[in-house]
Amino acid sequence: MEELREHPIAKAYIKNNHFGVMLDMSFEMSEAGKVTYTMPILDKHLATPMAAHGGSICAMMDATMGVCALSEVIHENHVVSTIEMKISFVSPAILGDVLKGTAITIKKGSRLIFVEGKIHNQDDKLIAMASGTFNAYPSSKAGF
């Protein structure tokens, strides 16, 4: 299988994902339906002097699960959009933590993809878990 990060859609996503760059997120697509994201918790992520804002964790989770769903349809020249996401914050992410988000596909239909994700810190402490539903559609509709 072609390296997923080398696919033209993945390259365009990486080039145009300014929000991910702003949050210092990076990802690896090891295979279709499995993704790993990383994000260090920096001052810009904080809501209090020590703890990350839930929005930054939510953004990381959406990105992690979204790229997981994308990895399922990228070879069909499709992209995805988030339809819904449910997230549970289990523990705070603290300044200096390096977060690792993982996601797996639960079920892929013809248009809908169901994904589950988890975010842990560098000590393997669970920070958040989520489930999401994603809509697959032709990449041309997204400008790719």
What is the tens place of the pLDDT at every residue in 25-41? 998 887 888 889 999 99
Confidence of residue 1 (pLDDT cuts 50, 70, 90): very low
Which residue range(s) make up the domain with 72?
A: 4-142
Mean pLDDT of 19-26: 89
CATH code of the domain containing 87: 3.10.129.10
Number of domains in the chain: 1
Whether 5 shows a pLDDT value over 80: the answer reads no
SS (H, E, C) 82-102: EEEEEEEECCCCECCCEEEEE
pLDDT at position 88 = 98
Structure tokens given for 67? 């790229």
Average pLDDT over residues 89-101: 98
Q: Is the dihedral of CA 78, 82, 84, 87 positive or negative?
A: positive
CB burial string 57-96: b at 16+ within 10 A, e below: bbbbbbbbbbbbbbbbbbeeebbbeeeebebebeebbeee
Q: What residues pair up with 113 in beta bridges, in sequence order?
A: 108, 134
Give residue 142's pLDDT band: very low, low, confident or very high (50, 70, 90): confident
Q: Is the predicted pLDDT of residue 2 greater than 60, yes or no?
A: no
Write down the pLDDT at residue 34: 83
Angle, CA 2 vertex, CA 73 and CA 30 arms, to 5°: 70
